[in-house]
Each structure stands twice: as C-alpha cells, then as structure tokens.
Chains A and B, each alone.
Chain A
Amino acid sequence: MRRRKAVAVAFVTATLLTGIVVIQAIRGKAATSERAARAPIADAFAGLPRPPRPAFTVGRPALLDRRESRARFAPVLRRVDARTEPNAEAPPVATVTERTEEGTTNILLVLSEARRQGAAWVHVRLPVLPNNRTGWVPRSALGGYRFVDTHLTVDLNRFTVTLLRDGRPVFRASVGIGRSAWPTPKGDFYIRNRLSGFGDPFYGPIAFGTSARSAVLTDWPGGGFVGIHGTNEPELIPGRISHGCIRLRNDDIVRLARLMPVGTPLTIR
C-alpha cells in the first residue's frame, strides 16, 4: 500500500515537471518567433523619418461665461430717422447722422432687436433732447456690433465716478459736476467718442463725449453735449463747478481712459 502511494506521487510529480518543461519550451519558442517576426517591422519603422512636432497646438477652448453682461453699440452708416416703433411708417423721433460734432463716427447704444415684415430693426438709445430718449432704426443703417463689458456710473450727490467691469468696480474718482444753473443731466447715456491732443488745457489731456445733453445750454456750440474730461482747475474738485460736464483731475482722466472703451454705457444719478 505504502509502495503504491509512493509510485503515484512519483508519477504525478514527474507529469507536472514534464508539463512545466514542455510549457516553458513552447513559451520560449513563441517568444523567439515573435521577436523574429517583430524585427522586420522595427527595421521598417527605423527607416521612417521622425514625425514632425506640430508648429502649434490649440489650447483648451473657453466657453463664454453665461453670466457675462455685455452692452453693444454700432456705428451709424447713413443718415437715418429714428422712429417710435420698428416700422417705416411710424413717426420719427429724431434724425441721426454718420458723424459726431467732433467728426468721429457717430455710434448708437443698442438695446434690442426686432423683425417686422421681414426687415430687421434695432432699438437704440439716442443722443438727443429730451435726454433718455430711445427710438428704432433699420439694422441696415448701422454697422457691425461691438461689445463692451464696462459701465460708468456718476453719483451726483457724492461727487464720484465709478467704472465697473463685469459688474465689479475697477476705478473710482472724485468729480466736479454742473452748477445749479447748468445741472448735469440724470439718466442713462453712453460714451460716444474719445478726444485727445486737442491742446486746450480747459478740457485737460483727454475728453470723452457722451450722449447726454444739457437741457439748459441748448444753444451751446455743438448742441450742448455733456462730456467727461480733465481740467486746469483741479483744486475745485469735488464740487458743483461746471456747465454740466463731469470734470476729473488730469491724472484721473488719464487713468480712466486706459480702462474705458468708447461705447461704454453711462448712468448719471
């Protein structure tokens, strides 16, 4: 009995050892043949030129922020009547021209769009009296839209001006505003142009034209437009010192000019 057991164990062991040896032999052969098969392929790749490194790679695309707030404006391409409704038969509100009083391109702040009888119309803020007036003009009378992420606010009670970008304040300064006889108008307006190099110290180094107009100085040359500009009397700021314009110290207007594009909406309250 003991002898049979020993024979059985010896048989199993021998079988296992034989199997291992056979498997190893097969593996070795397979590896050898795989290496042999791979060699020509490697040789072929070795003969190919190295792939060039791309001259540029495109970075991660950035989606627009859904919360972004952008005002838009457009240049006036031709003289046109603004109307009370988006309709060519509607009563005219005012006529807008291609140029401002200073010869720059006239622009209009865009509030919304509408289509009537197949034609595109644009609701715009107008640089006319009475202030805060809006009207509709054909889309074809305007050029391409431009977008701005800034908004300028003037607080007449606190004599301050604040520039917001994406809703966050990025600039603040003291201002001089209109005297009681020539008050700075309140309402919603926009920046129409930027003037510099004109050589008149009264306005400082830079002046911004706005769509706001003095309700009092209507016979002023150019129509009594209210501006935002520097001054040669900085010691008077803050205060009620002007004919309606908003005056800043010269270093402040220079700083503001670096941050504020033309077309920026303006709120005076």
Chain B
Amino acid sequence: MTPREEISEPTIDELASTLAEIDADGALQETAEAAFGGTRAAFLQRSLAAAAAAAGGLFAANSADAADVATTKNDIAMLRFDLVLEYLQAGFYTEAERLGALTPKTLGWARVVGAHERAHVVALKRLLGRKTVPSPTFNYGSVTTREQAFIRTAVGFEDLTAALLKWQAPRLDSRSVVAAAITLHSVETRHAAWIRHLIGLQPAARAFDKPASQARMARLIASTNFVSAQPQLAGRSRPRLTG
C-alpha cells in the first residue's frame, strides 16, 4: 500500500470528534479495546494510526442499532465495517475514472471495478437500512492520478478486502449474511487477480490465502491517510456580501 503523499495527516482532535459522533453510546470503546487493548480515553489519545484504525470502530454496532435484516450486534458491526471499506474503494475508483489521468488499461479496470464497488455500497446500505453509516470524507490526494501509486493501492485494497471477508465469514452469526458475504468475497478475489495480472504480478500467488483481521484492515486504512476531516461548507454567520 502506498501512503498518500504530500497530504497532512488529520489531527487527533478531528479523529476524536468523528469517533465521538459515531460512537454515541460507547460501542467504539469495545472495538477499540478489542483491537488495541486499553481504555477508550487512552485509545483516543493514542497515535494517529491507532486512532484512525479504530475508525473501524465507527462500524461497531450497539444494542439500539439492530439492523432490520441482520439481527446480531456482531453481524451489524462487520457489515458496517464492510460498508465503509466499500465507500473508500468506490470513491477511489470513481475519482480515478473521473480524473482520467491513468493509462487506458488501468482506467478500464477502474471503470468496471468502480461500478462493482458502488453496487456493493448500495447492497450493504439497503441491508443495513436505518442502521447504515454515512460515508466518511476521503482525500485520495494525487494517488488517483499517478499510475503506479494507484495500482499499488488498488492491489492492496483488493487483496486485503478479500482477506478481510475471509476473516469475517467464520465470525458472522447469520448464515444468510455469510451466504451474501461470500458473493462479495469471490468478486473481490477476481478484482485482486485481475489487477495483479494487469501489472504482471502472479494473479494467484499462493496455494492458500490467509485471512486479515478488521484491526489490520483499519490500520491499513489509517496508513493511507485517505480518511479526512469534513469541510464546513455551510454556516449561520451573517453574510458579508455586497447585498
């Protein structure tokens, strides 16, 4: 994974406010502690990597947040995590296609995969219903316009998304959610093999694939610095316009 270059990192305050907003009832604490150990307060004071990694916790469910279809707290937490990951990828590939700075071959890949990831977003949002999470704000910097950086990031996203779904599958409570999740898993592995093939990497490098945990995926997301503060585009100040 190539960290985004030249972009200042979000401050701990920005992350903390985002986490506090999402984690109204302290569900984040549980995820954070599970992933990193320690108290919530200590967690929020940790390094940026730890804090942003726990942004994975923004997908953590709470008892009042039982989704309409998936009924367990555990499943909702994982589905929310998946949804934000899909937001991240859909935004990444969509921006690359819109900016159009990559080679035609890579853009062709991004065009198809972007459409898939957007469809995944729609499906997960529909499943979560009222319990969905809004998309964070992303700043991909110049990665969506630089061929090599884009490809390396895409390989990382696709490989690790497939690994994450492998990690989640045996941990899901609902068999119907497992049945749905594996339909995503196979598509993500195809994406991974496809992008690897495009750049001359082994599409299937190993005989067995290892799973990757949510905590690891959250750390990966944090390492990119792609999650950024929400700009304030509206206000209530008296206009200072000529009138």
Q: Are A and B physically bound partners?
A: yes
A residues touching B (Cβ–Cβ < 8 Å)?
A: 51-64, 70, 72, 75, 77-78, 101-105, 107, 113, 115, 119-120, 138-140, 143-145, 147, 178, 182, 193-200, 202-203, 207, 209, 214, 217, 220-227, 229, 242-245, 262-263
Within 85-131 of B, Cβ neighbours of A (below 8 Å) are at 94-95, 97-99, 101, 111-112, 114-116, 118-120, 122-124, 126-127
Contact of B239 among A75, A209, A262 (CB under 8 A): A209
Indicate which residue in B98, B115, B123 contacts A57 across the interface (CB closer than 8 Å): B123
Within 8 A of A (CB), among B193-230: 228-229
A222 cross-chain contacts in B, Cβ below 8 A: 240-241
Q: Which residues of A contact B5 (CB under 8 A)?
A: 120, 140
Q: Select from chain B the residue with minimum beta-carbon distance to A145.
A: B95
Given contacts A105-B233, A144-B228, contact A55 B176 (CB under 8 A): yes
In the complex, whether B27 has a CB less than 8 A from a CB of chain A is no
Would you give 7 A-B contacts (Cβ < 8 Å), ordered by A? A58-B122, A105-B232, A120-B6, A195-B239, A227-B241, A229-B243, A262-B234
B234 touches A194 (CB 8 A): yes
Q: Which residue of B lies closest to A119 (CB)?
A: B6
- Chain B residue with the shortest CB-CB distance to A243: B242
**What B residues does A195 contact at CB under 8 A?**
234-239
List chain B positions with a Cβ less than 8 A from chain A: 5-8, 69-70, 94-95, 97-99, 101, 111-112, 114-116, 118-120, 122-124, 126-127, 137-142, 145-146, 174-180, 183-184, 187, 228-229, 231-243
CB distance A103 to B237 under 8 Å?
yes
Contacts known (A70-B98, A224-B242); A62 close to B6, Cβ less than 8 A: no
| A54 and B185 alpha carbons, distance in the complex (Å) | 13
A190 to B114, CA, bound (A): 28
Please determine whether B145 and A120 come into contact, CB atoms closer than 8 angstroms: yes
Query: When A53-B179, A58-B184, A139-B6 are in contact, do A113 and B174 touch as well, CB less than 8 Å?
Result: no
User: Is A102 within 8 A of B97, CB to CB?
Assistant: no
Nearest CB in chain B: distance from A235 CB, A:
17
**Which residues of A are found within 8 Å of B145, using beta-carbon distances?**
113, 115, 120
Q: Which of B97, B114, B234, B238 has a CB less than 8 Å from the CB of A104?
A: B234
| Residues of the A chain whose Cβ atoms lie less than 8 Å from the Cβ of B8 | 77-78, 140
**Across the interface, which residues of A come within 8 angstroms of B239, CB to CB?**
102, 195, 198, 200, 203, 207, 209, 227, 229
Contact check, A56 vs B123: say whether CB atoms are below 8 A apart: yes
> Are B238 and A198 interface neighbours, CB within 8 A?
yes
Partner of B124, one of A52, A56, A107, A178: A56
Query: When the two chains form their complex, are residues A55 and B241 in contact, meaning their CB atoms are under 8 A apart?
Result: no
Given A62-B119, A120-B6, residue A55 in contact with residue B142 (CB < 8 A): no
Residues of A within 8 A of B101 (CB): 113
With the chains together, A28 CA to B240 CA distance in Å?
Answer: 95
Report whether B235 and A140 are in contact in the complex, using a CB–CB cutoff of 8 Å: no
Residues of chain A within 8 A (CB-CB) of B97 are 64
Of all A-B residue pairs in the complex, the 8 with the closest CB atoms, nearest first, are A222-B240, A227-B241, A144-B139, A140-B6, A61-B115, A120-B142, A105-B231, A54-B180
Which chain B residue shows the least CB distance to A120?
B142
A57–B182 CA distance with the chains assembled, in angstroms: 11
Rounded to whole angstroms, the CA-CA distance of A178 and B139 in the bound complex is 38
CB distance from B185 to the nearest CB of A (A): 12
CA distance A223 to B240 in the complex (A): 8
With A64-B111, A203-B241 known to touch, is A52 a contact of B178 (CB < 8 Å)? yes
Q: A102–B118 Cα gap in the complex (Å)?
A: 35
